[in-house]
Amino acid sequence: MAQLLPRCLDSLLESGAQADFEAIVVNDGSKDNTLQVALKYRDANPDCIRVIDKPNGNYGSTINAALPQARGKYVKILDADDWFAPAALAKFLRELSGTDADMVVTHFTQIHPKGVKELAKYNLYGKEPYEYGKTYPLDQVLSDGYIRFFLMHSLAYRTQLLVQNGYRQTEGCSYTDLEWDVYPLFYARDIVFFDTNLYQYNLDREGQTMDPKVLARSLDQLGRVTENILGFYENYPREGLSPERKAFLDGFYRNRIRLMAKSYLLDLPRDMFNADEFARVDEKLQGHMEKLGLEPIKLFPANKIIRVDAYKYWRRKRSRFPKALEAVNSVADRIMTTLYRKIFR
């Protein structure tokens, strides 16, 4: 991250709001000169930048190292290859001074290859259902069942909410931002939305963890995190959850199981798919679903044109779609994704 960290930290400093935030830069055992870059910024900005240097432990370990030292009222993650819009950060900090909500949601921009930008807002098919700046009971918001938007890039939390509930992320693997998305949903009380496009999420970098090639090689890590969040739900006293929250969490977890199946049955290159491996994964997923009393999943292609259940096909044939059907599905997915972005984004 040595080459990308300056853009990230400059975006904070260019906000002109140094008196209102601290940035904790965690050097996770990097082997380039990332630490030297971070220390240079700290020395030039000692009032707002701090540095933690630690052995490599992967993504979750950086959060676990920083959170106990965070002194701000709210905490938000910013990956070193991404950045905040400076003016939006200044606005966001002003907005935070006027709220005590446990969860804070803002817009973010996804930056795709060739500089294509996609604004992501919490909306239901193009409609923004909540008044910006107004605090809502979290159960009320969860009752709409809209799972997609609860992502790391949109979320900030009241620091003490996390500390008091002993929040920790899995160490030693990637994709633990999923835990950041879901664990606080078990104990947060309320939520506020701000009309601020803060996080600039860079998807145009080779080696990025959501790069399909990287994800294909790292399904075991995604599986480990999925197992952990499923275990968390199984061990949580679910009888204490409100009906609205339990319904949302059931939907969230069914969706995560569906996405694990999708990764193997629809996304993974055919030459990397191993039926025996997925059979073992599927057996575990089925066990979790039974323990949690979740309804069976269905796995239709995202394009909603090809109405063939890939998971049902797997259960019956113990194989993926035929090669020709996968090719048609891939084309349909690209077409419908483009249309969806133009209409709703």
- pLDDT value, residue 3: 93
3-state DSSP assignment of residue 150: coil
**Long-range pairs for 71-75 at CB < 8 Å and ≥24 separation?**
71/22, 72/21, 72/22, 72/159, 73/158, 73/159, 74/104, 74/156, 74/157, 74/158, 74/159, 75/156, 75/157, 75/159, 75/162
What CA–CA distances, in Å, run from 60 to 88, 175, 225, 249? 26, 8, 10, 22
- pLDDT score of 329: 78
So what's the pLDDT on residue 32? 93
> 235 pairs with which residues across the strands?
none
Q: What distance lies between CA 97 and its chain's CA centroid?
A: 25
At 168, is the secondary structure helix, strand, or coil? coil
Residues whose CB falls within 8 Å of the CB of residue 217, separated by 6 or more in sequence, listed in order:
none
Task: List, in order, residues 6 or more apart from 138 with CB less than 8 Å away.
Answer: 102, 103, 185, 188, 189, 190, 191, 245
Q: Which stretches of the chain drop beneath a pLDDT of 70?
A: 124-126, 147-149, 205-215, 303, 340-345
Q: What is the pLDDT of residues 81-108, one digit of tens each?
A: 999 999 999 999 999 999 999 999 999 9
Residues 100 and 334: their CA atoms lie apart, in Å, by 41
The domain limits of the chain are 5-202, 212-344
5-202 in CATH: which number? 3.90.550.10
104-147 pLDDT tens trace: 999 999 998 888 888 888 876 667 888 999 999 999 999 988 76
Model pLDDT for residues 140-170, shown as the tens digit of each residue: 999 988 766 678 999 999 999 999 999 999 9
Strand residues in the chain grouped as ranges (E): 23-28, 49-54, 74-75, 83-84, 103-111, 117-120, 135-137, 155-158, 190-202
Q: HSE of 311 in the Cβ direction (CA atoms, 13 Å)?
A: 17
For residue 206, the model assigns a pLDDT of 64
